[in-house]
Amino acid sequence: MMSLETKVGAFVLGGLTLLATAIFLLGDVSFEKRYTLYGQFSDVANLSKDAPVKLSGVEVGQVRSIELVDGGARVIMSIRKGVDIYNDALFQIGSTGIIGSKYLQVDQGSRAKGVIPANSTVRGEDPVSIERSLTKALAKVEKLLDGFTKEGPRGTLADNLTETVANVREMTANLNDLIETSKPKLEKALGRTDDITQKLDDLLAKSNTMMASLETSKGAVGALLHDEKVKEDVKETIASVKEAAGTAKDVLGRITQFKVYWNYDWRYEHAVRTSRVDIGLKISPREGRYYYVGGSNMANISDEKRGKVTDYAQPNKADALLGWEGSWYDVGIGVIRSGGGGRVTLTPFHKDPILGRLSVVAQAHDFGRNRTIEGRRFSKPAYDLGALVKVHKYVSVGGRVEDIQEVPRYQTWLKVAFEDTDIAYLFGMVSFGAAGSKGRSKK
């Protein structure tokens, strides 16, 4: 039999073995060879210990600790042995989403610059705080609204937007002059629409009665039309009257059905420190249906780049969408930035007076992308995700992340949309004339 001392020793040895195993499994102990790098930042934006270190999107190490040094933050990185980082590499704080977890992103440099030796200190790019960005964006929106209401100084963006709206108004005024000569006659015709419609309804009722009597040979008319040829001719004539009456109702309704909206999107991309503009026209011929045409990433292609981060956005692209919309959704398919795609806007709390101001926007496009931009190969579709909050009848603000699968880029977003009744009236007139010409050309 085992002695008491032997049993106690075996028990203690087993306990120490279990403790060592738990420390190994739960303490993230690794026997992988690693080397140390030090990153100096002014602000680490809530980066935490044990956060991953990613090189070109691939995890190559871990943040071992973060400490205060000389009024800044020093990040101690543990990098896997055999992973070379070049001297001109860019170190910055990344995020898995708008409110996602933080990690240390390393954008690889050039092989010709040489490899950063172990235990070296590198300078990191200071992150842009989302809270500060939204505060600045709201300040700019307030300044923009002050420019519209003539309270306080007017900013450059407000002046440019005001001038743009003035130019659009001037263009529509010229169009109004073009149709002004026909407007009095059109108003007079519209005033008699109810009377015309009533007479058409009476005519259709009488035509139905006449058609019923033509089926028999009773009466003088029935006897006269007993001849099959005469009978068919009269039926064709009455059918043509019905078709003309229906066409007249549809054509007169086209004038007031059209709604047209101008859409202006201003987006500031923080990584490259530049802004982009999308502008377009949303044409709704009837409720629940619309067409959208416009341009995206409008820019001067000769402008010089800002900062060290590569700008992968392609300027001056076209948008053309066929859309359906309701009280809580907006779905469009067609062309987005000169590539096939679709866009969905959801307002899940549309019935709530406060939460109903929040909308989520997602779009996907360029599904066949296979090209090289600024030395980088792109082979995956572009997916964008963002959120908007309406702060005014015409103005919404928010943020979005573009190209999530390839090179995620955070942007502050300002959206301005307003209805233009003059252009809508013009579209109604054009539709009226086109439908009228088509009807007259049939017979």
Q: pLDDT per residue over 379-405, tens digit each?
A: 999 999 999 999 998 999 999 999 999
Please give the pLDDT value at position 439.
47
Give the single-character DSSP code of 316.
S
Class of domain 136-153+259-425: mainly beta
Q: Which long-range contacts (CB under 8 A, 24 or more apart) does 406-410 make?
A: 406/312, 406/378, 406/380, 406/382, 407/312, 407/376, 409/269, 409/271, 409/272, 409/312, 409/313, 410/95, 410/98, 410/128, 410/130, 410/269, 410/270, 410/271
Distance CA(126)–CA(72), nearest Å, equals 11
| Separation CA 421–CA 177 (nearest Å) | 15
Looking at mean pLDDT, say which of 122-131, 268-277, 406-415 comes out highest. 406-415
Residue pair 254/435 in contact by the 8 Å Cβ criterion: yes
- Structural domain spans, the chain: 34-127, 136-153+259-425, 182-254
Q: Residue 293's pLDDT band (boundaries 50, 70, 90)? A: very high
> Can you give 115-143 as a three-state secondary structure string?
ECCCCCEEECECCCCHHHHHHHHHHHHHH
**Element housing 284 (H / E):** strand 274-286
Mean pLDDT for 221-225 is: 57
- Report the length, in residues, of the chain: 443
- Mean pLDDT in residue range 181-190: 70
Give the chain's mean pLDDT: 81
Q: What is the CATH number of domain 34-127?
A: 2.40.30
For 201-221, how does the pLDDT look when each residue is reduced to its tens digit (9 = 90+)? Answer: 888 888 777 777 666 655 555
Whether 254 shows a pLDDT value over 50: the answer reads: yes
Looking at residue 413, what is its pLDDT? 95
Range from 25-39, 75-89, 340-354 carrying the lowest mean pLDDT: 25-39
For residue 251, give the H/E element and its range.
Answer: helix 228-257
Tens digit of each residue's pLDDT (9 = 90 or more) over 9-42: 778 888 888 877 666 555 555 567 899 999 999 8
Which has more pLDDT, 213 or 299?
299
Percent of the chain, pLDDT > 90? 39
Rounded distance between C-alpha atoms, residue 274 and residue 267, angstroms: 9
Task: Return the amino acid letter for 382.
Answer: A
Residue 440 phi, psi (nearest 5):
-70, -25
Residues 6+ apart with CB under 8 A from 396: 359, 388, 389, 390, 414, 415, 417
- Of the two residues 57 and 31, the one the predictor is more confident about is 57
CA distance linking residue 75 with residue 61, whole number of Å: 13
DSSP state of 304: P
Q: Kindly tell me if the per-residue pLDDT of 272 is higher than 50.
A: yes
Q: What is the mean pLDDT of residues 282-302?
A: 87
Question: What angle separates helix 421-440 from helix 156-180, to the nearest 10 degrees?
Answer: 30
Q: Pick from 130, 189, 43: which is nearest to 386 by CA?
A: 130
Residue 135 phi/psi, 5° resolution?
A: -65, -45
* Apex 377 CA angle, 371 and 378, nearest 5: 65
Per DSSP, the residues of 134-190 read: HHHHHHHHHHHHHHHHT-SPPPHHHHHHHHHHHHHHHHHHHHHHHHHTTHHHHHHHH
**Averaged over 355-377, what is the pLDDT?**
91
DSSP 315: P
Percent of the chain topping pLDDT 70: 76
pTM, two decimals, is 0.47
Confidence of residue 226 (pLDDT cuts 50, 70, 90): low
